[in-house]
Every structure is written in C-alpha cells, then in structure tokens.
Structure 1
Amino acid sequence: MIGLEKSVTGAQKSAILMMALGEDNCARLFEQMHEEEIREISAAMSQLGMVSAETVESVCHEFSRSLGSSEVLIGDIETTERLLKNTLPAGRAAAIMEEIRGPAGRTMWDKLGNVSEAVLANYLKNEYPQTVAVILSRIKAAHSAKVLALLPEEFSLDVMTRMLKMENVQKGVLHSVEQTLRSEFVSNLPRGSHRDSHEVLADIFNNFDRRLEARFMTALDERSHDDAERIKGLMFTFEELAQVPVEGLMVLLNQIARESLPIALKGASEKLRSAFLAAMSERAGRILIDEVEALGPVRVKDVDAAQSDILLVAKVLLDRGEIELLDQEQAANEMLV
C-alpha cells in the first residue's frame, strides 16, 4: 500500500488525483494532455496498487483541493484501461495499454525481433557487453541465439556472463539504451518485467544448433560451472517430450507440421519414438516408422531444425497449459499403465 511514509513521485500524485476525481473528470483531463503525459500518468496509474486514504487526502491538499477521502484507491491495469478507453480513440488507447503491459503486446522488443540478426549483430558488436546483455535479455530467445552466434565468440561469452549477473537495470542505463534504440531501430521501449537470467539464457541455448550449444556451454562451464549446470537444468530438450502424457502428445501432433516429425525422430531415442507412437493410431504409427526408415542419412542440421520447430510449438502449448510435462518417474509410471 502506498502511504504517507513512502515517497510519491509526481506521476503517481497525478494518477492518484485523477482517480480520486472519478472517471468522467479523469477523462476530461486526459483530453487536455499531450500523449507523452498520458503515457507517463497511465503507466504510474497501472502500478499504484492500493493507496491509503491519508495519501489520497495529502495529494489532494497539495493540489489545493478541498477534497477528503474515507476510502482507499486501487490502481491496476483494468482500471487504467477502462479510463483510457473512455477518454481516447480506441486505437490510441490500445497502443498505450500495449506499451504498459510490456512484452505481451506489440512492443519495442517485438519490433526489434523483426530486425535482421545480421544487422542487429553488426550494430551490437560495437556496443559495450553490458548494453548488449540488456538488449538480448529482452528480445525473443530464438533471435538472441542467432545474434550471439554471429558475434565474436569471446564477446558472446562476455555478454552471457553479464546476463547471468544482471539484476534490475538502473533507470539511467535503461533510459540510455531506450534513446539509442528508439533513434536507430524502433520506438516505444517498454519497461518489461525482469526475468531470471538463467531462464533467459536457457531459452537462448534451446535455440542454438547442437554445435553452437556444445561450444558455448563448454566455454561457459569453464568460466562458471554452477551457472552452466543451472542453465542445463532449465533447458527444454526434444527428448523431454517423452515426459509429456499421451493426451498431450496428441494435442502436439495436431499442431505441428506433419513433415517435420519423421526428420525430428530420426535423431531421437527409441523411448521418445515409442512415446509418439503411443499417441497415434496403429496405422498412423506404421506410416511414421516407414517414413523415418525411408529417409536414409539426414544432416544433423536438418534434424536440429525439425526438432526446434516442434519444440517451439510445444513451449507455446506448455505456456498455455494445454499440455504438461511430467517428471521422469511420473512419465515412466504412465507408460506402464
């Protein structure tokens, strides 16, 4: 709860006052503001949480208002979105809310992901490793993996080491990165939530091909064995799909490109092949086995690409809760049933 004992910023005071005035008055005030002001106040409003009655009264008195309050206010995403929709054109309100929400919407980092990895790597190679670490920790892991693969190996390792040690980025540093990226790539840098650095790098390693994964993991292990082991434990590998229940694999099979599966299974264990066959009809299973055997020698690069495509779909389904990943003991018991 925001109380009198806590320092309240100017943007927070404005947000508190506008919420105290009610939605209609708030809408009229928004109409008189520039978009940058609306963005700043909206961002503050969405993060207020619960505000004590004493603080509301203090803020109102500070604005020379004879206004008291016996109730608390709660500033959250839903309230902010409702106020903006009642005030601004739909498109403008949606754009501001997308920025406030951060990486879930069409944000700076989504747009940065559309920049060619070669162009981005060429730009980043001249930046400080810490700056690169900030940027790569916020864009999609698949894109980060491609960028790191194009950077000098020693530089990439330095960046990954800094990502592991990185905590919440100081406002001044983030502002500097924001200004540079806005002028050279896209605009509207959001202040996204901070992810665990080991999880970020685990996602990136998942998107390396096997050669790069092995090389970087070995080098990282030499620098910090504990960090390397933790990243390994967080990585989601193709073989772990054997721990998805039959029902989940059936869902996955309906979502993936059919032509990817035989190639992906060419480099898989018998355990994983059996898991997929158990999720298919007998006829479909026979066809799959024939397709795998008919492939002949397949390049490791092609197997990696097919497995990566399937893993990306599986991760989306896992995030949505449409499939689950059992531990090894649970998966083994299910296969016995």
Structure 2
Amino acid sequence: MTRQKQLQQNGKDKAAVLLVSLGADISAEIYKHLTEEEIEELTLSISNVRSIDKETKNQVIAEFYQLALAKEYISKGGMSYAKQILEKALGPDEAMIIINKLTSIVRPFDFMRKADPKQILNYIQNEHPQTIALVLSYLEPQQSSQIISELQEDIQADVARRIALMDRTSPEIISQVEHILKQKLSVADDYTQTGGIETVVDVLNGVDRTTEKTILEHLDAQDPDLAEEIKKRLFAFEDIIALDDRSIQRLVREVNNEDLLLSLKTASDELKQVLFKNMSERMAETLKEEMEFMGPVQLREVEEAKTRIVNVIRKLEDAGEIVIARSGGDGVIV
C-alpha cells in the first residue's frame, strides 16, 4: 500500500503531514490547543514521517483548506448554504465528500455542552420525544442523565427507547434542530452523529436507581428484547471488581458454584483475585483445583453463566442487600 493511499485512511497521518508542511512555529501554536494524549499520538505520527512528496503535501493542504472553508460556510449560513456553495465551486460529488468528512469530525450540539442541564431541560422538555432523544444522544452522559431524570415518567422510557434505536440522522435535520435550539439558548455553534444502545446505557448508568427501574419497566412492556439488551450492558460481569467487599461476599453466597466456576474461565486475573479474597480459603482452593482440571467449554456457556450472575447482582440490589455506586441520586453510600 502506498503512502498516499494510507493517508486517505489515516487522519493522524494527514495531520502529521499538515503540521510538517506548516512548519515548527505554527505547529507549536496548534499544539497549545491539543490534549496531552492528542499531542503524544500526533508526535508519534510526525516522527514516522520520513519524506513527503509534493503531490501528497498539496493533497493534504487542499483537503484541510476545503474543510476549513466548509466549516466557515456552515457557521455563516448553515448546512444547506455550505452545500450549495461547495457544489457550485467543486461539483456535487466533491461537495458531499467534504460535508461528510466535516460531519464525522465535528460533534453536533457542542454549544449545548456549555449550558446547565436544567436550562437545557426548560427548552427541550416540551419538544417531541424524538427531538429530545436526538439532543440527549449528543450531550455528555452526565448532562443527559440529569435531564432524563427530570422528564415525566411516561416520556422517560419513550426517549430512552428512541436513543437506543437511533442509528443515523441526516445532517440537514441536525442542523435545523441546532438552529432552533441555538436561538432559544442564545449561545455559540457547532454539530455530527451518535445514538444507539451504548449511549442509552451511558445515560442510565448516571441516573438514580428509581429512575432506571421506571424506564426499564416501561421498556419491558414496549420492547422486551431491547430492555433485556440494555440490562445486560448496564452492569457487566467484570464490573464486580468495583463492588465493595461486603457486597462481593454476599454475591458469592448467593450464586451457583457451577456458574461461578464457568464465569472464572474467562475472567481477568484481577477479578479472580478479588473474588477469591472474598470467599473462604477452602472454597477458593476448591475452585482453583476445579478450574485447573476443567476441560474446554463453549464460550456461550461461559457468557450465559456470567449473565445469570449479573442477574443475581441486580436482584440483590433491588432487595437492598448490596449497593452499586451510581452517579445519580444522593451519591452517598453508608
């Protein structure tokens, strides 16, 4: 694969070529606006740049210029205006490539991340659930958690379901919603794509247990399969390591030993040590011996055992016998 083809697939390589082309002084100024992780990754990419042919250099600079120009058009007149100008200048195909690239690197609703969640709630709580779901998909999980907790109960589950089922939304619709909310909030600008089960899991992990239960109960009635998939991801087997010792000891007494044995087959060494530490010495030694002599098992059996253990954890939490730390609620564990 040639260097030029690699550049078409690797944004970090393109950024490295751009900075090398711009020179040390300008690159140093750009570094001031990056995170430590971004600086490390970019410096590594720059160190791997041995030589840059003129064609590649011109290609990267031209692409950067077009993206910067497109972003300026969007800030002045919105997505439709930018698309119209770019189509006249470059043709419809090239214009769409630039718009798609821009919407993949600029997150929508950035301006709302500067606003207080209560302020956002005031302006979106009367919107259609699909609009609320779209907005919450792009906010930080902590913001979305606080907002969804304050919505009416019948709307909470509907919004959670729409977030989970969301895939892609056209840039034009996102731009229209942004424009309307920007006028309401009277703050800055920006915008791109998200949604899906992982997003709603992030949101639910941040709400209090009462809100989570209410949403999941409604989802169970509306879409049982979706509710089950969300439940699986809300607390993963490896998250046991975050429980306090008393909760782990209570769990060990409750779970089936066969399930515990199967689940340890693929558990991390750290989690194994935490579990062994919270059971009797005899039980730990017995499990270690059985693990040593246990033959191959199907991964499906292991995952099913883990799921049963996670279900036990959720039942114990519902009964108030263990506590899973959450960022919602009063946040105090005694």
Q: In which range does the TM-score fall when normalised by the shorter chain?
A: 0.3 to 0.5
Higher relative contact order (CA 8 A, sep 6+): 2
TM-score of the pair, normalised by structure 2 = 0.46
